[in-house]
Amino acid sequence: MAASPRCGAKTRSGVACRAPAMCGKLRCRMHGGAPRSGAPWRNHNARKHGAFTQARIAERTAIGELLDEAGKLLGEMASGRLPKRDQAG
């Protein structure tokens, strides 16, 4: 038992796992060496959604700035501090 290969995973504390690796695998039963362990086939949870692309980040920033400007305008309208427009015509 002492001569069996050890799991190659790192624990949360950063040290190597000391559990024995599963037969024919590099990891122990707790770190992915068990049968049928790992992500399911055609894992839909791992798909890329694009929420953090540069275009989407820029879009969210622009929407936030637009909402801030609208909020300031509504605040000025409520307090009556809007500049008077010229009544030409």
Percent of the chain scored above 70 by pLDDT?
A: 87
- Answer whether residue 89 shows pLDDT above 60: no
* Cα–Cα distance measured from residue 19 to residue 15, given in angstroms and rounded to the nearest whole number: 12
Torsion angles phi and psi, residue 5, rounded to 5 = -65, 145
Average the pLDDT over 16-32 and give the result.
Answer: 88
* Cα–Cα distance measured from residue 33 to residue 6, given in angstroms and rounded to the nearest whole number: 11
**Where are the domains positioned within the chain?**
1-33, 51-79
58-69 pLDDT per residue, tens? 999 999 999 999
* Cα–Cα distance measured from residue 78 to residue 54, given in angstroms and rounded to the nearest whole number: 36
- Confidence (pTM): 0.42
CA separation, residue 50 to residues 45, 54, 63, 72 (Å): 13, 9, 17, 31
